[in-house]
């Protein structure tokens, strides 16, 4: 059974203090690993898709990396507007189109 | 494009009542998903459709839940009868088969009293 575990559950950072969020996964045949951002009262918003180990994607202060067992979302010099819940999801080879989500990491960045 | 549109935004009902949630996916998308989000269980996939056909409904909690997609631009999720444990945020999402990137609606906050 496909499974996703995210850590930590919550993270508090000072503005400018870089850190990383972890997503560990178990899946039979990875078709894609996805990162989403969710703000309170809104639906998740797509950030990145990673397809194979070694792949990296960047967007502003965010950088996502992928190994065969886990993915990291690195946040460099965060700002208060980066505060949100970050969700990781996987799609396995036996589940075309079906994403399994982790519980998320809630990030708070204080000015 | 306006994105995925869900209605209503909030729904408060009493136990035993029928609840219908509605979704309009992004035009041209061939997949539609219904998810439920709670603090305890996070985002759970309830059911998804491909080209209006239900593909996997294994996440539907029980027979009280049903979903339909009569055409490419409309889907409903119905709960009958509703129970307090159904209280959650229900999200609809759509995607293209080619990249599997989900676009979510704003959700329906359901409270069953």
Find, among B83, B47, B86, B79, the residue nearest to B65 by Cα: B79
Instruction: Give the pLDDT band (50/70/90) at residue B10.
Output: very high
Sheet with A56-59, side-by-side order of all strands: A3-7, A19-26, A70-75, A62-66, A56-59
| pLDDT tens, residue by residue, A71-104 | 999 999 999 999 999 999 998 877 666 789 999 9
Mean pLDDT of chain A: 94
Residues 53-82 of B with CB under 8 A from A: 55-56
| pLDDT tens, residue by residue, B41-92 | 999 999 999 999 999 999 998 899 999 999 999 999 999 999 999 999 999 9
pLDDT of A45 over the 90 cut? yes
Cβ atoms A10, A108 nearer than 8 A = yes
Is the model more confident about B6 or about A3?
Answer: B6
Mean pLDDT of chain B: 94
Q: For A49, which residue in chain B has the nearest alpha carbon?
A: B101
**B chain contacts of residue A97, beta-carbon cutoff 8 Å:** 31, 33, 48, 50, 55, 95, 97, 100
Please give the average per-residue pLDDT across B80-108, as a whole number: 92
Q: Out of B45, B99, B105, name the one closest to residue A43 (CB).
A: B105
């Amino acid at each position: 059974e496909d499974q996703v575990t995210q850590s930590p559950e919550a993270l508090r950072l000072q503005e400018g203090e870089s850190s990383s969020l972890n997503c560990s996964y178990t899946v039979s045949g990875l078709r894609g690993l996805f990162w989403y951002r969710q703000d309170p009262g809104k639906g998740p918003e797509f950030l990145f898709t990673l397809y194979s180990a070694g792949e990296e994607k960047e967007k502003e202060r965010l950088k996502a990396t992928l190994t065969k067992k886990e993915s990291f979302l690195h946040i460099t010099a965060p700002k208060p507007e980066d505060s949100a819940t970050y969700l990781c999801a996987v799609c396995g080879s036996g589940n075309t189109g079906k994403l399994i989500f982790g519980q998320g990491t809630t990030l708070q960045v204080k000015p | 494009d306006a994105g995925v549109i869900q209605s209503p935004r909030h729904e408060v009902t009493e136990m035993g009542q029928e609840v219908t949630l509605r979704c309009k996916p992004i035009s041209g998308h061939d997949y539609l998903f219904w998810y439920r989000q709670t603090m305890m269980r996070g985002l759970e996939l309830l059911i998804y459709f491909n080209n209006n056909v239900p593909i996997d409904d294994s996440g539907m909690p029980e027979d009280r839940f049903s979903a339909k997609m009569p055409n490419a631009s409309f889907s409903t999720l119905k709960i009958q009868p509703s129970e307090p444990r159904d209280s959650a945020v229900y999200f609809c999402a759509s995607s293209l088969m080619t990249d599997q990137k989900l676009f979510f609606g704003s959700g329906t906050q359901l409270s069953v009293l």
